[in-house]
Each structure stands twice: as structure tokens, then as C-alpha cells.
Structure 1
Amino acid sequence: MTKRYTIQDIAMLAGVSAATVSKIMNNNGNISKATKDKVKAIIEETGYSPTHSAKSLASKKSNLIGIVYAGKINVDFSHPFFNQVLNSFKTQMGLLGYDFIFFSNEQYKNNYLSRCLHYNVDGVLIVAGDVVEDAIGQLDHSTIPCVGIDIELTGDQSSYVMTNNHKISHLVVEYAYMNSIDRIGMIGGTHDSRISMLREEGFREAMNKFCLPIDEKWVTYGDYYEDSGYRMMKKMISQEKELPELIYAFSDLMALGAIRALREEGLHVPTDVKFIGCDDIEACRFAEPKLTTIRQDKEKIGMLAAKLLCNLIDQKNTSRSILVDPELTVRESCGAALNKSR
């Protein structure tokens, strides 16, 4: 096994102090050229990159970030929303010299903390699942800096970032109200998903705010993926004589699945039913008809998560949480905006 050198090892081999090695790596201090050359040569010989920071060496940082997909995962690597968020996060952290290790929830679901300690990660990104196991709480309340995506962390060394989920639903209902659409159906996420709960709360609040009736027979639940949207739409069609004017799906994938089911029954979008999804994944632009959706700024969420985690690692003051504003993108699945006065 290759020896993992510390700053003390480098200092001993060079015959200087650890502080001198740190100054050389940070290009600080009045150090002779000969000493600088000697230390840099030893760093190269022992496997350190000349670009490694002295701060990392001195603090024994691993420059390693753990990635955890929490709990019962229904939104994972294959989900386009989280895939794009993670790519943005990885890009930002990669520019700062960090590498990544992914922890399997199947293998390590009861000991995330011990695995993170074993690999000496500098910080952890936790991506929300539906049912979050106790092991996530242990990690959240540990001394390891953690940032959550779509999961509300509460530890002293934790922060989180997510889209304002109440506002997502308010934008949908406001659009319906402004266009004289009274009958609105909902395809939510799983009952135990915190994000689904927040969006449903926002939906019900907005419906009450605009004095629109909520018909519970049009309130259904999927799992964020296309097949569940398809099944919920089939069920709605088979059980109900009357369909809502507009269906709000908590993910674009569920909306696309529901549209497919509607078409199989000989119905049309937006003539028979209008649709609004959520996430603004790439497929929305190429669907037939193009899907109206609530855009979540995936790149911004990833970048903010990286900024929060870096601040926590560097022990800088940082926000406990950040909510990112969503944006309604109107496309063909809602038809032309009618803008009728009520």
C-alpha cells in the first residue's frame, strides 16, 4: 500500500518545519529559492501534485466530498432533475480541486457517518429520497459539513438548498385562475415525500386563496416517474365521467406519462385536458405537445449547494437554507394563454 504522506512527512524529508512547507505551497514568506525547490521536488516525488494547496496539507483535508442519495430512493441517478443538479455541483467543486465518493444506500444505509469518517471526507452532499432513514439524521448532526438538496437539514454543520415548493404550486394555480380554469387535478409524489407534502400544501393554500374548489377525486399520487403518471391518468379516466380542465403533475415525467395515457383513450391535449409539469427537463421541449412546466433552476441549485458546502468546510458564516425561486414556462400543453377576466 502506498504511504499517504502528511505535511509533517514532507517537512521531515526536506529538513524544514511544517510551517515552512505551508508557506512555500501558498507562495508566502521570505523563503530561499533553494529551499523552495527542494520542498517542491519532495512533494512531487512523494506523489503530491504541485498544485495541492498547503492549506489542504496543513489541515489534513482529503479534498474528498461524499455524495449520499438518502433513504428510499425514487429519485436517483437516472432522474434528469437530480442528474443536472449534481452535474452543476460537481463542476463547481471540481474546479476547487475536490474529488467525489458515492455512498450506496443499499450497502451502507445504517452507517453513512462511519463510512464518511473512514474516508475522511471534507463534506457531504445529501440528495433527498422519500423515506429518510435514521442514518441520515446521524450524519446531519455530526461534525462533518453537510448540504442537502431537497431535504431540510438541521444540524449545526448543515445547510440545504431547494426550490420554493409552495411557490411552485402557487404559480400553477395562479395561472389557472388568470385563465378561467376552475377544475384542477393533481398528481402528487409519494405520501411520505417531504417535497410532495410541501407542493400539496402550496396547492391547497393557493386553491383556497383564489376560491377554487378542490375535488378530492382528482387528487392522486405517483412516484415522480412516467409510469406512475400513466397509471394515475388511466385510473382517473376509468373511474370518472368528468375530467379536470387542467392536471398539475409534481414532475414532468409524470405529466408525460399521463399525456400518453390520455392519448391512448382518444383524448387530446390541450383540447380535452391541459397539463402543467414541474422541473423543466429537456424532454419538455421535444414532447408532443410541448409541455408547460415550472422551471427549477437546476444549475443554480447545484452551484449554491457547492458554495454552501465550501463555506461550511472553511468554517465561514453561511445561510442555514436557501430557497430558489421557480418560474412558469408556458408551452403547448396549456394552449394559448386565454387571459380572461373573472
Structure 2
Amino acid sequence: MNLTIKDIAKMAGVSPGTVSKIINNYSGISEKTKRKVLDIIGETGYQPTFSAKSLATKKSNLIGLIYAGKVNVEITHPFFNEVVTTFKKTIGKLGYDIIMFSNEQFYQDNGSYIARCNHFHVDGCLIIAGDNVEDAIYELDESEIPCMGIDLKLKGPNSSFVMTENYALSSKVIQHFYLHSIRDIAFIGGRKDSSITIYREQGYIQAMQQLGLEIRDEWIQHGDYFEESGYEAMKRILDTKMYPKAVFAVSDMMAFGAIRAIKDSGMRVPEDIRVIGCDDIEACRFSSPQLSTIQQDKDRLGKLAANMLNDLISGNSQLSPVFVDSELIIRESCGSK
């Protein structure tokens, strides 16, 4: 017979909350009541469930992990995988476990993240940015459930976010090319409606304008952050009458695709066209040529997200968003230090 906390409470003549407090070793319970409940637990062999242990504290020590958007970044995405790995280690040291929520059925059954969070009694949520973010994410953001976004701006009463400083990121790339006498610079972004692409494209345009460099519409192309789309975007750029001298791709995967398209056209990297990507994934060190890139501080992003979410759960709802600096890493695809 599988006993529940309610069964134990009925046998002892006390409330389930009292049984839960005794299980969790809370004070304020008489020794007589405590002994009676513990004796019944011993006699019946009752094993407290996770929900029973959390009943008194109102905390589950569970964090919901959500990859947001109709077009999400997937668990295998190198950048977010490293950020989440650091987050998982850090939040684990703070006493939490992680449960992942799928959004695959959202557009069939009108699912609710709030309902799922309440069902599993999660203490808070980490939300990873995707494209075409579903309305349910913003409903969750506006709820009382603490939420932490990564590369996703959240504005709710118990929410905050961490994000790489994307305008400065793009400016570093353009300034590097400019200081090495490169003036003709193309841009390959992700999806046009992607918030990260929008920020980085705005940063690219702003930096180009500040330095008096010409912005050619045909040299601004878009993909989906993955290699094949970078290849196709670069081919469209190479179909124009004039070739750029350099390309900034907003993901390393698209930069790899751009390099392949340049090589397939009979040109060389970096001798004919220089390339800089973004993310500094492990493959950058082993590509041919080795890829120059913007290194986002994945370790810092993950640690900040974990500690800030823990503070939100603890009642500190006054946390401002944090923007993390990046570093330009020059390798062979730029041909210059």
C-alpha cells in the first residue's frame, strides 16, 4: 500500500502541514505530537515524497528551463549549451535541480507555462531566447514566478535578464577592420526578426556611420545562425557587382558557411576577404583558416543568470538587467592582429 502524507496525518490526528514540518525537522511542534507522527512513520514504513518534503517550505528547489520561440536555439547550439552548462553547475551548488519544459505542443494545445510551473511547483525559470517568442513566455514574465532571461529582455515584476552588450560587440568588429584599412564591410545576420540580430545589425550600422563608411544594402544579408544559411547569404553577397573586403557574421556557424562560399567562388580567406564570426565556439580553433570571432563570456553569463535567479527567488525583485562585455579574438581568418 502506497501511503500519502494525508494518510499519515489522518492516522496521527494532525494536519498534513504538521506532518510535513516534522519530516523537514521544523521547530514549533510539541515533542508528544512529533513522537506520535514519527512512530507512525516508522511502523508503516512511509517514505516521504518530494512534494511532501516541500509542502511546508513552499519551495521545490526546482528551476524550469525553457527554450523559447517557434524557432528555438535547440539544446545542441554550441553557445547556449555552454551557457546552460555553467548555469546548471552554479544553480546546482545553490541547491536546485532543473526540469526542462518543451514547447513542441504549444501551437496545438495552447499550453501555458504558468500552469506547468504551478503543476511542478518550480521556484523560478530560466528562459533562453529564440525567434518568434510565444505569447505564453510574456504571460509567464508578467506573473509572480521569478524569471531570468538569457539574450531575452524580460520586464516582469519578478524578472530580469543577462545579455552580451551587442552594440559594443559589433563596434569592436567594425573598428578592427577600420584600423587595418578595411572599409568595405558586409554583414550576415540571423533571422530579420531575431532580437539579437536586430541589436547587432543596429550596432554594425551605427559603427559604420560613425566612421563614415558606406553601407551597401546588398551587403546586408540574413540567415538562421547555422552554417548552410551563412553559405547562402555569402553567395548572395558575392553575386553583387562589387565584393566586400571583409564580412562580419553574427554567429560562428554562419561564418563557417561564409568561408566555404568564398572558397567555392575561387577566392581566399583572408587574402581576398576577411571574416569574423561571433560566439567563439570550440570549432573556431580547428577550422581552416582558424576563425576570428567575438568571444562572449559564456561562463560569466551562466553564473550571473544562476545567482540573479536565486536572488529573485529569495525576494529581491529589484535586480537590474546586466550587460556583459565581449572580447575580439583575432585568428587566421583576419590575417592581422
Q: What TM-score range do you get, normalising by the shorter chain? A: 0.7 to 0.9
Rounded Cα–Cα distance in structure 1 between residues aligned with 2:214 and 2:200: 17
C-alpha distance after superposition, 1:287-338 (max 9, x if no partner): 111110000111111111111111111112552311110111111100023x
Which residue type is aligned with residue 97 of structure 1?
Answer: G
The reply on whether 1:67 has 2:65 as its aligned counterpart is yes
**1:103, distance to aligned residue in structure 2 (A):** 1.4
The reply on whether 1:143 has 2:144 as its aligned counterpart is yes
**1:60, distance to aligned residue in structure 2 (A):** 2.1
**1:185, distance to aligned residue in structure 2 (A):** 0.2
**1:190, distance to aligned residue in structure 2 (A):** 0.7
Q: What secondary structure does 1:261 align onto? A: helix
Counterparts in 2 of 1:187 and 1:213: CA distance versus 1, 3 Å: same
After TM superposition, the structure 1 stretch with the greater mean CA deviation from structure 2, 258-267 or 183-192, is: 258-267
Task: Please tell me whether the aligned partners of residues 21 and 39 of structure 1 are also in contact (alpha carbons under 8 angstroms).
Answer: no
* Pairs within 5 Å for 1:81-100: 81-100=79-98
* Pairs within 5 Å for 1:150-299: 150-237=151-238, 239-299=239-299
C-alpha distance after superposition, 1:222-250 (max 9, x if no partner): 1100110011112222x223211110000
After TM superposition, the structure 1 stretch with the greater mean CA deviation from structure 2, 314-323 or 200-209, is: 314-323
Which residue type is aligned with residue 282 of structure 1?
Answer: E
Rounded Cα–Cα distance in structure 2 between residues aligned with 1:14 and 1:154: 46
Work out the number of aligned pairs and report it. 332
Rounded Cα–Cα distance in structure 2 between residues aligned with 1:41 and 1:264: 76
Aligned partner of 2:122 in structure 1 is 121
Rounded Cα–Cα distance in structure 2 between residues aligned with 1:129 and 1:317: 24
Task: Please tell me whether the aligned partners of residues 160 and 320 of structure 2 are also in contact (alpha carbons under 8 angstroms).
Answer: yes
Which residue type is aligned with residue 66 of structure 1?
Answer: G
TM-score normalised by the chain length of structure 1: 0.85
Task: Please tell me whether the aligned partners of residues 62 and 122 of structure 2 are also in contact (alpha carbons under 8 angstroms).
Answer: yes
**1:59, distance to aligned residue in structure 2 (A):** 2.2
Q: What secondary structure does 2:56 align onto? A: helix
Aligned partner of 1:132 in structure 2 is 133
Q: What secondary structure does 1:288 align onto? A: coil
Rounded Cα–Cα distance in structure 1 between residues aligned with 2:40 and 2:95: 21
Aligned partner of 2:104 in structure 1 is 106
Q: What secondary structure does 1:243 align onto? A: coil
Which residue type is aligned with residue 282 of structure 2?
Answer: E
Rounded Cα–Cα distance in structure 1 between residues aligned with 2:56 and 2:277: 49
Aligned partner of 2:319 in structure 1 is 319
Task: Please tell me whether the aligned partners of residues 292 and 334 of structure 1 are also in contact (alpha carbons under 8 angstroms).
Answer: yes
Rounded Cα–Cα distance in structure 2 between residues aligned with 1:287 and 1:26: 57
After TM superposition, the structure 1 stretch with the greater mean CA deviation from structure 2, 210-219 or 180-189, is: 210-219
Task: Please tell me whether the aligned partners of residues 13 and 42 of structure 1 are also in contact (alpha carbons under 8 angstroms).
Answer: no
Which residue type is aligned with residue 230 of structure 1?
Answer: Y
Rounded Cα–Cα distance in structure 1 between residues aligned with 2:333 and 2:214: 22
Which residue type is aligned with residue 175 of structure 1?
Answer: H
- Give the percent of matched residue pairs that are identical in Structure 1 and Structure 2: 48
Aligned partner of 1:340 in structure 2 is none
Runs of at least 5 residues in structure 2 that lack an aligned partner in the other structure: none
Runs of at least 5 residues in structure 1 that lack an aligned partner in the other structure: 338-342
Which residue type is aligned with residue 151 of structure 1?
Answer: L
Aligned partner of 1:80 in structure 2 is 78
Counterparts in 2 of 1:92 and 1:3: CA distance versus 1, 3 Å: farther
Task: Please tell me whether the aligned partners of residues 162 and 305 of structure 2 are also in contact (alpha carbons under 8 angstroms).
Answer: yes
Rounded Cα–Cα distance in structure 2 between residues aligned with 1:3 and 1:314: 33
TM-score normalised by the chain length of structure 2: 0.87
Rounded Cα–Cα distance in structure 2 between residues aligned with 1:149 and 1:211: 33
Which residue type is aligned with residue 158 of structure 1?
Answer: S
Q: What secondary structure does 2:63 align onto? A: strand
Rounded Cα–Cα distance in structure 2 between residues aligned with 1:150 and 1:266: 37
Counterparts in 2 of 1:17 and 1:232: CA distance versus 1, 3 Å: closer
Q: What secondary structure does 2:336 align onto? A: coil
Rounded Cα–Cα distance in structure 1 between residues aligned with 2:8 and 2:101: 31
Which residue type is aligned with residue 164 of structure 1?
Answer: E
Q: What secondary structure does 2:162 align onto? A: strand
**1:41, distance to aligned residue in structure 2 (A):** 11
